[in-house]
Amino acid sequence: METLLQQIINGLTTGSVYAVVALGYTMVYGVIQLINFAHGEVVMIGAMVAFGVITGLAGSGLPASMIVAAGVLAAVPACMAIGYSLERVAYRPLRHAPRLAPLITAIGMSIILQHVALLIWGRNPLAFPQIIANPTVSIGLAEISAVQIAIILLSFLMMGGLSWFVYRTRFGIAMRATAENVQVAGLMGINADRVIAATFVIGAALGAVAGVMFGTYYGIAHYTMGFTLGLKAFSAAVLGGIGNLPGAMVGGLLLGLVEALGTGYIGDLTNLCQWPVVDAWLGERCADGAHFILFGSNYQDVFAFVMLILVLVFRPSGLLGERVSERA
Amino acid sequence: MNGLAAQAGARSGTPESRVLSGQPSLVGETLLEARDIGKRFGGVQALKAVSLTIRRGEIYGLIGPNGAGKTTLFNVFTGLYPRDSGEVIFAGQSLRLESPHIVAAAGIARTFQNIRLFGNMTARENVMVGRHVRTRCGVFGAILRTAGQRAEERAIRGRADDLLRYVGIADRADSLARHLSYGDQRRLEIARALASEPQLLALDEPAAGMNATETAALRTLIEGLRADGLTILLIEHDVKLVLGLCDRVAVLDYGEKIAEDVPEVVRADPRVIEAYLGTGTH
């Protein structure tokens, strides 16, 4: 019970970060049917830039909240600029090329951004300076830290803000129109280039904040962190139905929860000594209440991808995804 | 329907409340002049030096057998296809045809033979999108929501409702476009096209798939649009509808214009009869 509650809290925290990153994948896919594999690297660069600023200001005596805010404020425009340049340089020239071409370009941009980060920040992880007092609050049997509360609140705020923007403003209507049919949207006077560029920029801004949150939660930022995080967020987007905003949010949260619960219980569940038959067979290896655990919590990353495979097999359009025929 | 159009027509007297932006005072002047438009798809010459003139306030029909190039010409006018040669003068200015949103801004709006609405958006949102070309709105304006932005958005919403009322589907404003009936989708497409305040409304086979009653209602709607000063370019297979409705008709055959005149003359033109019925066995 204690594990359950605690892992739900942890899962919500990572899940809301996945959800915000997944929005970046799903928005771009929704508008131009491109999987922007470089998005994870944009998130990573957001974390790196913010960590640089935060480390630089750590000794200045400013209040911790202001230092973190400064880090975020530096990361967001940096990532927006990268998102815009990616679209301009790497994807726009290939807008009418076969779909495989921009996909390969996306992978290429991902590798380039990783190595640019390697050149700038080096191969060693950047540590988050100990400037935030991170008190924990007990709720029932579990504990939630101030950072976790901040991450969850901020993520939900961003998801709400994006939904409002897309579903309630005119620019949002233009975005949805472009996503549904670029040609007809053009005939309505919508400048598709602007809408597509804005999609990249907004996704990158969300990604920047997500990168800072993720780095702050785990205490480090590293030039390779975007790869796994990006793949998991992409899985979350597919899980929810790629191209679908609520889907990305649900998918991200669900993925975080599954991952946290899986990690929390996999050790207990695969402890072979708990089953009498196996216990007898293993004999002395289980003596005196010893454990023989088949899979430990280091299998954390497996869950996201097992889920991705299951979704692709049983419900390829995702939980909230449209039937593919509608798009064709 | 008749009542709605008449009501809208009556309102067009006062400039503030006008639903349409046609300019009755200019009726009869040249609105669009196409000169020697050519278009080739690989080895097929889809349009051969087509020239035509559309005057303000008229319903101009474009007919021809299947594959004659009607829709191709339409797509060239609306910027969907780049043309290979020729030029288009619209409202006295050379029309840049390189991108659909530029053409839309110049004042040409269209509907599609196969309806192309934004199915997952409501009827009202579809019309609001159509209004996009006449409004200034960027990402930051949308986020910051200045007083001016909010007022503009309210005005757009109100105008969308006016247009839905004008075409007679005000009660379906909040339905998703894909849930509307076929006839209502056609009307919605016209409302969306009208939202951009076009000077020229291009209708690509609006009666396709309609039954006789729906066609009659559509005819009333189109006549109401003309009464409100709009210029209409109509492609239609239903020859009876075209000849009954249009002021002038052009006939395309194999990418060439073979006739252009009032319906009575076109109907009697031997080349037109030949194009439609063949030469027979002499």
Residues A258-310 have pLDDT tens digits of 999 988 888 777 777 777 777 677 767 676 666 777 777 778 888 888 988 99
Going from the first residue of chain B to its last (282 residues), give the mean pLDDT of each consecutive group of 10, the final group possibly shorter. Answer: 41 46 69 89 87 92 86 84 86 80 85 87 91 68 71 86 92 92 91 90 88 88 89 86 89 88 87 75 51
CA distances from A256 to A88, A215, A263, B211, B242 (A): 33, 16, 11, 54, 61
CB-CB under 8 Å, A186 with B101: yes
A8 pLDDT exceeds 90? yes
Contacts of A177 in chain B (CB under 8 A): 118, 121, 129, 132
Using an 8 Å Cβ cutoff, are B239 and B51 in contact? no
Q: What is the CATH number of domain A2-314?
A: 1.10.3470
CA distances from A274 to A1, A287, A297 (A): 19, 11, 18
CB-CB under 8 Å, B101 with A191: yes
Where do the domains of chain A lie? 2-314
Using an 8 Å Cβ cutoff, are A47 and A113 in contact? no
| pLDDT tier for residue A251 given thresholds of 50, 70 and 90 | very high
Sign of CA dihedral A276, A282, A284, A289: negative
Chain B nearest C-alpha distance from A137 (Å): 35
Chain A nearest C-alpha distance from B235 (Å): 18
> Which range has the worst mean pLDDT, A166-180, A227-241, A279-293?
A279-293
Q: Is the ipTM of this complex over 0.90?
A: no
Chain B nearest C-alpha distance from A177 (Å): 6
Tokens read off for B246: 């249009």
Q: Which residue has the higher pLDDT, A112 or B63?
A: A112
Contacts of A87 in chain B (CB under 8 A): none
Residues of chain A with pLDDT > 70, as a percent, come to 95
Contacts of B79 in chain A (CB under 8 A): 186-187
* Interfacial residues of B (vs A; Cβ cutoff 8 Å): 78-80, 99-101, 103-105, 109-110, 112, 116, 118-121, 125, 128-130, 132-135, 137-139, 141-143, 153, 156, 192, 196
Q: Which pLDDT score is estimated for A223?
A: 94
- Amino acid present at A251: G
Could you tell me the pTM of the whole model?
0.80
CB-CB under 8 Å, A201 with B103: no
Contacts of A186 in chain B (CB under 8 A): 79, 99-101, 104
- Residues forming beta bridges with residue B45, ordered by sequence position: B40
Count of helix runs (H) and strand runs (E) in chain B = 11, 10
CB-CB under 8 Å, B110 with A187: yes
Q: Which of A59, A308, A30 is nearest to A195 (CA)?
A: A30
Q: Touching check for A166 and chain B: CB below 8 Å? A: no
What span, in angstroms and rounded, lies between the C-alpha atoms of A91 and A23?
A: 19
Instruction: For residue B3, count other CB atoms closer than 10 A to its CB.
Output: 9
Q: Which pLDDT score is estimated for B15?
A: 38
Contacts of B138 in chain A (CB under 8 A): 171
The values of phi and psi at residue B206, to 5°, are -65, -25
The values of phi and psi at residue A118, to 5°, are -60, -40
Q: Which of A243, A201, A229 is nearest to A21 (CA)?
A: A229
Tokens read off for B76: 């060239």
Chain B nearest C-alpha distance from A27 (Å): 15
Using an 8 Å Cβ cutoff, are A43 and A214 in contact? yes
CB-CB under 8 Å, B192 with A187: no
Q: Which pLDDT score is estimated for B17?
A: 41
Q: What is the CA radius of gyration of chain B?
A: 19
SS3 at position B29: coil
Residues in CB range of A154: below 8 A, 6 or more apart: A209, A213
> Which range has the worst mean pLDDT, A131-145, A171-185, A264-278, B255-269?
A264-278
What is the residue-wise DSSP string for B208-262?
TT--HHHHHHHHHHHHHHHHTT-EEEEE-S-HHHHHHH-SEEEEEETTEEEEEE-
Using an 8 Å Cβ cutoff, are B155 and B195 in contact? no
Contacts of B110 in chain A (CB under 8 A): 187
Using an 8 Å Cβ cutoff, are A179 and A243 in contact? yes
Chain B nearest C-alpha distance from A61 (Å): 33
Q: Touching check for A175 and chain B: CB below 8 Å? A: no
Q: Which pLDDT score is estimated for B18?
A: 57
CA distances from B6 to A48, A127, A317, B60 (A): 65, 73, 48, 22
CB-CB under 8 Å, B133 with A188: yes
Contacts of A203 in chain B (CB under 8 A): none
CB pairs < 8 Å spanning A and B: 89
- What does the pLDDT average to over A207-226? 93
Q: Which pLDDT score is estimated for A289?
A: 66
Report the residue from B80, B109, B119 with minimal CB separation from A180: B119
Q: Touching check for A160 and chain B: CB below 8 Å? A: no
Residues in CB range of A200: below 8 A, 6 or more apart: A28, A36, A83, A84, A86, A87
The values of phi and psi at residue B56, to 5°, are -60, 135
Contacts of A173 in chain B (CB under 8 A): 121, 125, 128-129, 132
Strands B248-253 and B59-63: what pairing?
parallel
SS3 at position B50: strand
Q: Touching check for A197 and chain B: CB below 8 Å? A: no
Count CA within 13 A, CB hemisphere, residue B39.
Answer: 26
Contacts of A189 in chain B (CB under 8 A): 101, 104-105, 130, 132-134, 196
Q: Which pLDDT score is estimated for B137?
A: 59
Which DSSP symbol is given to B62?
E
Q: Which pLDDT score is estimated for B138?
A: 62
Q: Which pLDDT score is estimated for B16?
A: 37
Query: What are the pLDDT digits (tens) for A86-95?
Result: 999 999 999 8
Chain B nearest C-alpha distance from A304 (Å): 30
Contacts of A201 in chain B (CB under 8 A): 139
CB-CB under 8 Å, B118 with A181: yes
Sign of CA dihedral B268, B271, B277, B282: positive
Q: Which pLDDT score is estimated for A304?
A: 84
Q: Which residue of B has its CA nearest to A163?
A: B143
Q: Which of A99, A47, A92 is nearest to A74 (CA)?
A: A47
